[in-house]
Amino acid sequence: MQGDIGLLLEHLDRNPGVVQHQLSSDCKAVYPAANNRNTPDAHPVFPERLHFMQSSCWWQEELKTVLHESEFFRIMLFALIEYLAMTLKQLEAFYWAATCANFAIAAQRLNLSISSLSKRITELEGSLGTTLFDRSGHRANLTQSGQELLAHSLDLLDLAADIKGSMTKSSGLSGHCIFGAGELTAMTWLPGLVASMRSRHPNLRMEAYVDVGATLEYRLDQGELDFAIVAGRSSRHGIMSQPIVEAQFVWMAAPSLAGTNGTCAALLERGTPLIALPPLAGTTRLIDDWLTVNRIAHVERINCNNWGAVVGMLSLSVGVGIVPFGWAERLADKGLLRRLSDKHPLAPLAYSFQWRRGDTRPLIKEMRELVRVVADFSRSVGFA
């Protein structure tokens, strides 16, 4: 296989007329540009050195055009990609090792042992003739060469995926997607999201984690998650946030506490406990802002990390708390809770799709758009 591809590339390079005969008329002008020896930083088709990767961007758009318009060129490059499969795996190992908090997380993302991950990176360093990680300290850090390669590695991996995708019948995304969401999302529209993901991308393995927002942001920043749906925007520099949906909350209490015209502010000022999620939850900021507006400085808090338990304590007159609007209406209809009237209503809480800065994989774009379509906190809560 190696000899056949080498001879083919050499023959095409020396005889561009063969390519012009095989490619459609729309592509004839494209291949010469990709093989023009007068082009700055021109290199052979196979990028064997890091220095080629640093100057290879000029031919990527031309190559994508050819891939869509020429069956012959797609077949040739598909064979080349198959031959270079191990090199692509090495580059993938490098990308995850460089962007995750440590090699252990990177190995887990690729379903590899740490030793297998390290071996691929060592082989890549040998192929490029340079050291990509400085391993002298407590943790491996990128060298200057590693930083330069990282700037181009995702582009090269995406390009390889484009080539393979153009050669085969598309059945959506593939691989392993690990994401996180808060409990309220899990109780409302997360099942619909997973169903839509499964329908559109049957070859994509999915793994969902439910936790409070701060924990999800930390895991995302470490590289353990591909994306997360979290209340509010992230303050972490390495995380991008895009608002997707808002949730409206209202103050609720058991009928025995609420009385006929009870207000939340009055109940709290009388010492009634506040039942809420833990401080790391996104709703904590919402409640704190409301307390500040109402000039309530001190309250007794009973924290619980489960929405069902929070509602259960509210129904048993343990205290007052906030409940998502749609869920609150159903609980009120059943006579379990009563909405509290107040001069200052709670502000809407924006939820955002969060992903790591610089992650331009098609997976992120596709999931971001899908989440935008599916997200809806008015959906029924399963046990309400």
pLDDT of residue 124: 87
Closest CA to 216 of 178, 176, 177, 180: 180
**Whole-angstrom Cα distance, residue 286 to residue 67?**
51
What number is the average pLDDT over the span 77-93?
66
CATH class of this structure's domain 85-167: mainly alpha
| Long-range residue pairs from 57-60, CB within 8 A, at least 24 positions apart, any chain | 57/152, 57/155, 59/33, 59/34, 60/155, 60/159
* pLDDT 10s digits, 41-61: 433 333 444 444 444 444 445
What distance separates the 2 farthest-apart alpha carbons in the chain? 90
pLDDT for res 264: 92
What's the mean pLDDT when you consider all of the chain? 79
- pLDDT tens, residue by residue, 155-214: 777 777 666 666 666 667 888 999 999 999 999 999 999 999 999 999 999 999 999 888
pLDDT > 70: percent of the chain = 73
Among 95-104, 173-182, 361-370, the range scoring the smallest mean pLDDT is 95-104
**How many C-alpha atoms does 298 have within 13 Å on its Cβ side?**
2
Backbone angles phi, psi at 66, to 5 degrees: -65, -40
pTM, two decimal places: 0.66
What average pLDDT does the segment 143-156 reach? 83
Strand 301-303 versus strand 274-276 pairing type: parallel
Q: What is the pLDDT of residue 189?
A: 94
pLDDT at residue number 55: 46
How many CB atoms neighbour CB 330 within 10 A? 14
Helices and strands of the chain, counted as H and E runs:
19, 12
Of residues 154 and 339, more confidently modeled:
339
Burial 137-171 (b: 16+ CB within 10 A, else e): eeebebbebbebbbebbbebbebbbbbbebbeeee
Q: What is the mean predicted confidence (pLDDT) over 104-120?
A: 87
Same fold, 175-246+350-374 and 249-347: yes
Q: Which of 60-64, 138-142, 264-268 has the lowest average pLDDT?
A: 60-64
Mean pLDDT of 234-260: 91
Lowest mean pLDDT among 61-65, 168-172, 228-232: 61-65
Of 46-50, 347-351, 361-365, where does mean pLDDT reach its minimum?
A: 46-50
pLDDT-based confidence at 97, cuts 50/70/90?
confident
The topology (CATH level 3) of 249-347 is D-Maltodextrin-Binding Protein; domain 2 (3.40.190)
Question: Is 320:257 a contact under the CB 8 Å cutoff?
Answer: yes
Residue of 77 and 271 predicted with greater confidence: 271
> What integer pLDDT is reported at residue 51 of this predicted model?
46
- Taking the C-alpha atoms of residue 18 and residue 13, their distance in angstroms, rounded to an integer, is 9
Report residue 204 as tokens.
Answer: 């994509």
- Residue whose pair of structure tokens reads 């080629």 in the numeric block: 52
Q: Rounded mean pLDDT of 301-308? A: 93
The DSSP bridge pattern shows strands 204-210 and 175-181 to be parallel
Provide the pLDDT for residue 171: 64
Count CA within 13 A, CB hemisphere, residue 148: 15
Break the chain into its structural domains and give their ranges. Answer: 2-83, 85-167, 175-246+350-374, 249-347
CA distances from 374 to 188, 197, 253, 303, 370 (A): 10, 10, 30, 30, 6
Q: Do 236 and 244 meet the contact criterion of CB atoms below 8 Å apart?
A: no
Range of lowest pLDDT (76-80, 215-219, 258-262): 76-80
Q: Using an 8 Å Cβ cutoff, are 236 and 355 in contact?
A: no
pLDDT value of position 68: 54
Long-range contacts of 22-29 (CB under 8 A, 24+ apart): 22/70, 22/72, 22/73, 23/66, 23/69, 23/70, 23/72, 23/73, 24/69, 24/70, 26/69, 27/65, 27/66, 27/69, 27/70, 27/73
Main-chain phi, psi angles of 159, to 5 degrees: -65, -40
Helices 325-333/307-315 angle, 10° precision: 40
Residue 280 half-sphere exposure toward CB, CA atoms < 13 A = 12
pLDDT of amino acid 45: 38
- The answer regarding whether domain 175-246+350-374 maps to CATH 3.40.190.10 reads yes
